A and B are shown apart, each in its own frame.
Chain A
């Protein structure tokens, strides 16, 4: 019954499609080269907001060559994502494609269709979405519906574009899931998004956009939300699929390392305009534009063998030998943190305790920067919070050498005893937007710790103003609210807040991870400068190995709550001892397209390590 009705609806739909496509067909002199799959010409996408019109994409021209991978690179706000979404006309409200053409030619001999001329909700464009052009988003958790199964959402694409009996569609979906490397696809078909890991979710999303074998796959920051090892797997998968399916790929990213790994051609965007475009080799080795050169200069330097050359262009590092001799400011001894999994007892699931930090010992020398690296969930943030005593460690010691020279155990103290040390150990947070109260002025935000310590009003005023200058802001900014600042400036405010109490140890938890590369470089410079001037010690928590490599004296690698390797940055990055460290390092993209594929991707399977698997 449903079949007959949908058959009639389908005929009508096909007619609408044909009519729509015909109307948008372009012919004549300005037809693009048959080797070009998609040609963007003068594309302008605007966002009309209450504050005026923002030209997110400001009249760009770009060609996507058939069979190639074109990367669109840029920092946040460059319009790269808006460009990707414009192609399918799925720009977020209130975005609107205002001008330009998007000439699309499915096969070299197919007619040229102007995608911009199609009705956004019309049948013709719908017949292209998901079928000929697939889209993969950044965050698979939010890009997939939380209340529908993976299978349901994948089969839906088939139901829309290639309907078949239910069993057949299911079989095809399972087959595609297997193809993108999801183990036990039969079972995962009925899984919900939250039951899969981040990497599996992204694979499911890729399966969804590939099931109709599109001629163009648009991937919008598909690996940004993933760990570096997972990112490497997804990049390999995409390259493989592109090869076997003869697909064209448009890859949006802010990460030049990823570009070097995957791109054939590169389009560099800034402020909604194309700054430079060319082959990946040209962009990396003969960049013409000053902005491209600046972006490239933020990359860690490599030596020709693809090994890890440490320290070039970075700040002067404290010599390791002097560090080893100096007494540690903080000695973490056998620190243990267990979270009891008590949530959801009502539903009868026994909560297994989570061993977030598993007998970690680590020395932090005074005046040094110690990097703490690992994948998400490895316990690095938990360890940082134990040091701050935001978490109460289950056991172990935090031996802190106070300014007076006597050694105290922070782990054994109660709140009252901790109070003086709360000023000496401070934290800088990751998210410069979420970590500042929008209802407090900058003066209140920064001065709050002083107010808690009952410092007089005038003195607070003076010290806040001084601190603002220190972190590279202006004195008169103190009365503004956080929303008036950019991401980088906000992070400066966050640093000022941490430093206002004249701390000795600063825990920086992913302090630069949310920032654009150029801003990131400035913040790192600032942190180095402050370290020199104020004699600070940093515990630098990050998943970004290239940053850690550049600024840290010593590096500790964590895996499932355990410290697997610790040493100087040169030792750890140059000659990793533990298999996990090797796997982690092998997954970091090499930011040089000429070295692509010269280094095998290692995987770490802790099967022989029962305590790590637990």
Chain B
């Protein structure tokens, strides 16, 4: 196991280096750079752009240098804990990320918990009571949730929230937006949180219900379930001990994907609901070619994906002896 972990960690290093190059290349892929965007904005506002000023900026930001030099600088800084400066905000990238991190994580974790708490029991029930009214209801709702685009659901629920007299959009009511933390502020946060949690969780829930149901239906008719039944086990315990345990494997092997998902949140939904999470930050950084900000976020997502995959592999080996002994 230790050897496996060390090997996997070693594999992760070249993977991440490759990802960082690709990320950097992709950010630079669109024609122009941040200064092009800046020029366009200034011209729109009727300002005259001084060529010399632009050139000075270009030199100062290092944008006149070649790809490899820029990449090298970026990576060197990264290793020293310096994520660079955001052109847009003229602030260190890390400060911007740190500012939004707590809310992003809160939303991500809450969404994940709600998703699983609804989806797993629903999927299991759906499989055990296959072709019952309950199964059809769950499946029907699931398909509906799967079919409705996230942003549409966001708009609908925002409207419902509005009808309920709630202040929609953002995570806080205006009166709390800039106040320090207090009980009232937390309550206010929870009142706002349910809309994005529900909206983002909806699609995921439906998907997990379908997969759980299908896995369970496969497992429920395996001979070992009959064996357990023939031992005299009560149905409830039987189902949770044997088929559920195995039906969970696909989820465990993909559990690591939640890590990056928690971090970036749902970009589109967050944008529609004007949430102060990482998603909108990434979107605006990409639009403005704010390369260090976008690059940092993308790279963090990549690192989390690699780490998450490793975690799920280890988890799977822990729960499934077949993986541990290489028999699966």
Do A and B interact? Answer: yes
List chain A positions with a Cβ less than 8 A from chain B. Answer: 85, 88, 90, 92-93, 121, 125-131, 134-135, 137, 139, 142-149, 156-157, 160-161, 192, 194-195, 205, 208-209, 343-344, 346-349
Instruction: Enumerate 7 A-B pairs (CB-CB under 8 Å) in ascending A order.
Output: A88-B230, A90-B229, A134-B230, A145-B245, A147-B319, A156-B233, A349-B326
Bound-state CA distance A514–B241 (Å) is 34
**Is A126's CB under 8 angstroms from B234's CB?**
yes
Question: B325 — which chain A residues lie within 8 A by C-beta?
Answer: 192, 194-195
A144 in contact with B232 given A192-B325, A194-B325 (CB within 8 Å): no
Interface centre among B226, B229, B231, B327 (most CB of A within 10 A): B231
**Is B222's CB under 8 angstroms from A348's CB?**
no
**Is B226's CB under 8 angstroms from A129's CB?**
no
B residues 196-255 touching A (CB-CB < 8 Å): 221-224, 226-235, 241-242, 245-246
Q: Would you give the 0/1 interface string for B122-145, flagging 1 where the beta carbon is closer than 8 Å to chain A?
A: 000000000000000000000000
Bound-state CA distance A146–B243 (Å) is 11
The contact of A147 among B3, B7, B227, B246, by CB within 8 Å, is B246
**Is A130's CB under 8 angstroms from B246's CB?**
no
Q: Would you give the 0/1 interface string for B165-207, flagging 1 where the beta carbon is closer than 8 Å to chain A?
A: 0000000000000000000000000000000000000000000
The contact of B245 among A92, A130, A139, A147, by CB within 8 Å, is A147
**What is the minimal beta-carbon distance from B324 to any residue of chain A, in angstroms?**
8
The contact of A90 among B226, B234, B327, by CB within 8 Å, is B226
Question: B321 — which chain A residues lie within 8 A by C-beta?
Answer: 146-147, 149, 192, 194
Say which size band chain B's interface belongs to. Answer: 20 to 34
**Is B231's CB under 8 angstroms from A208's CB?**
yes
The contact of A129 among B4, B229, B246, by CB within 8 Å, is B229
Question: B33 — which chain A residues lie within 8 A by C-beta?
Answer: none
**What is the minimal beta-carbon distance from A489 to any residue of chain B, in angstroms?**
27
A126 in contact with B233 given A93-B221, A146-B246 (CB within 8 Å): yes
Bound-state CA distance A192–B319 (Å) is 13
Question: A130 — which chain B residues lie within 8 A by C-beta?
Answer: 230-233
The contact of A126 among B4, B232, B246, by CB within 8 Å, is B232
Bound-state CA distance A209–B326 (Å) is 29
Question: A90 — which chain B residues lie within 8 A by C-beta?
Answer: 226, 229-230
Question: A346 — which chain B residues lie within 8 A by C-beta?
Answer: 4, 7
B residues 1-56 touching A (CB-CB < 8 Å): 3-4, 7
The contact of B322 among A129, A139, A147, A160, by CB within 8 Å, is A147
Question: B232 — which chain A residues lie within 8 A by C-beta?
Answer: 125-131, 157, 160-161
Bound-state CA distance A125–B230 (Å) is 10
4 nearest CB pairs, A to B: A130-B231, A129-B232, A344-B326, A130-B232
Smallest CB gap from B327: residue in A? A194
**What is the minimal beta-carbon distance from B122 to any residue of chain A, in angstroms?**
21
**What is the minimal beta-carbon distance from B249 to any residue of chain A, in angstroms?**
8
A137 in contact with B226 given A145-B242, A192-B325 (CB within 8 Å): yes
**What is the minimal beta-carbon distance from A125 to any residue of chain B, in angstroms?**
8
Bound-state CA distance A608–B9 (Å) is 47
The contact of A137 among B227, B245, B246, B320, by CB within 8 Å, is B227
Question: B320 — which chain A residues lie within 8 A by C-beta?
Answer: 147
Bound-state CA distance A344–B325 (Å) is 9
Smallest CB gap from A127: residue in B? B232
Given A148-B241, A157-B231, A348-B7, 15 further pairs, Cβ under 8 A: A88-B229, A88-B230, A90-B230, A121-B235, A131-B232, A134-B230, A135-B230, A142-B222, A146-B322, A147-B320, A192-B325, A195-B325, A209-B230, A348-B3, A348-B4
Question: A349 — which chain B residues lie within 8 A by C-beta?
Answer: 326
Smallest CB gap from B8: residue in A? A346
Question: B234 — which chain A residues lie within 8 A by C-beta?
Answer: 121, 126
Smallest CB gap from B324: residue in A? A347
Question: B327 — which chain A residues lie within 8 A by C-beta?
Answer: 194
Bound-state CA distance A161–B322 (Å) is 29
**Is A347's CB under 8 angstroms from B4's CB?**
yes
**Is A135's CB under 8 angstroms from B233's CB?**
no
Bound-state CA distance A93–B130 (Å) is 11
**What is the minimal beta-carbon distance from B145 to any residue of chain A, in angstroms?**
28
Question: A348 — which chain B residues lie within 8 A by C-beta?
Answer: 3-4, 7
**What is the minimal beta-carbon distance from B36 to any residue of chain A, in angstroms?**
47
Bound-state CA distance A507–B319 (Å) is 43
**Is B224's CB under 8 angstroms from A144's CB?**
yes
Bound-state CA distance A147–B252 (Å) is 14
**Is A129's CB under 8 angstroms from B231's CB?**
yes
**Is A143's CB under 8 angstroms from B226's CB?**
yes
Smallest CB gap from A211: residue in B? B231
Bound-state CA distance A346–B324 (Å) is 11
Bound-state CA distance A144–B223 (Å) is 8
Smallest CB gap from B222: residue in A? A142
